[in-house]
Structure 1
Amino acid sequence: MATYVHLNATEQQVSNMNANQNITLVSVKEVCKITSLSRTMINKLRSSGDFPKAVLLGEKRVLFVRSEVDDWIKRKASAKRVN
């Protein structure tokens, strides 16, 4: 089992990580593929607080918890169906 160092993770992310040891971290590049959004749009959504918090593993290494990205997609898809 891989062990990750989660620098600057929010308390909720740490709590979620502790509850489920099978955490998958994905890069911004992979998030762009998963969501079909550009890096610029991902960064805009992050800046406005409308995207899952990133996990910083270094000054330039930004990753996301895959399950949080998947949940975000599900919420977006659900909202679109309601309207």
Structure 2
Amino acid sequence: MGPEIVDYLLYEKEDNGVLWIKFNRPEKMNALFGTAEELGTVAKVGEYMRAGDDDPDVRVIVLTGVGRGFCSGADLKSRAS
């Protein structure tokens, strides 16, 4: 059992104990958005990492991005709205 899944962040656990957490906003270069209260990207990464840490089958957690960029930083357009 893992955390609640969202479309902007992937949680993929392999049988060999590798947990992949992937930023999934390639059209925005995987920019971060939202606040902790809104369960934005950073809050969800923390939730996913805690879930992986609590799972005895997970040996390593890999944080990466979908597409050509890992993460471009904060999504300033979403913060302005």
Q: TM-score, with normalisation over the residues of structure 2?
A: 0.28
Higher helix proportion: 1
Whose strand fraction is larger, Structure 1's or Structure 2's?
Answer: 2
TM-score normalized with structure 1 length: 0.28
